[in-house]
Amino acid sequence: MATTFTKIADYTVGSGGASDITFTTIPSTYTDLVLKVSLRSTLGGDYFLFSFNNTSANFSSRYIYYENTSVSSATLARYGGRINTTYSTASTFANTEIYIPNYAGSTNKSYSSDSVSEENGAAAPGSLIAGLWSDTSAINQISLIPSSANFAQYSTATLYGVKNA
């Protein structure tokens, strides 16, 4: 029986950190992509951005942001999700799942992201994101870039392909 949910690649940040996490040569043979990440920053940058196919152009997103007792909504192009910072409780990482349907099709690409950063501290924001890459190209490369500094050691990212048949 064909496998429906398949790991394409995974990445673990080593000592010294990483300025980005990039998945290249993504095959076009799946229906959807799922990206599961667990991230921490080496400094204060508390969110990450996307680039697809090595471009940061033509992105948009709107999101819900919640923290402690407040909730708000705003827009931020390329927004992917949260990162725990170097100031967060030790050994805590923010977790995000991103779903990209029909990533290899010929229409503009949408994505849905759910991100949390609980750390038993003063602030533990979460985000729900609706994103769009206004480009009809098939996605063959995905990069995650921290808003500042680098991803810290032990940050992980795994890319899965989902087949609908």
Partner 1 sequence: MPTSTYEPIEAKTLGSATSSVTFSTIPNTYTDLVLVANYTTTSANVDVRFQVNGDTGANYSYTYVLGNGSAAGSGRLANSAYIGGYFSVGTSTNGNISIYNLMNYANTTTFKTVLQRMSSAEKELTANVGLWRSTSAISSATIYTSSSTFTAGSTFTLYGIKAA
Question: Residues interacting with partner 1, by CB under 8 A?
Answer: 1, 3-5, 31-32, 60-66, 71-75, 99, 101-102, 107-112, 114, 128-132, 134, 162-165
In this structure, which amino acid lies at residue 110?
S
Residues sharing a CB contact under 8 Å with residue 91, sequence separation 6 or more, in sequence order: none
Which lies closer to partner 1 via its Cβ, residue 4 or residue 24? 4
Q: Least distance to partner 1 from the beta carbon of 91, Å?
A: 28
Label residue 36 exposed, middle or buried (CB < 10 Å: 0-12, 13-18, 19+).
Answer: middle
Which lies closer to partner 1 via its Cβ, residue 88 or residue 127? 127
Q: Least distance to partner 1 from the beta carbon of 146, Å?
A: 22
Q: Least distance to partner 1 from the beta carbon of 134, Å?
A: 7
CB 22 within 8 A of CB 142: yes
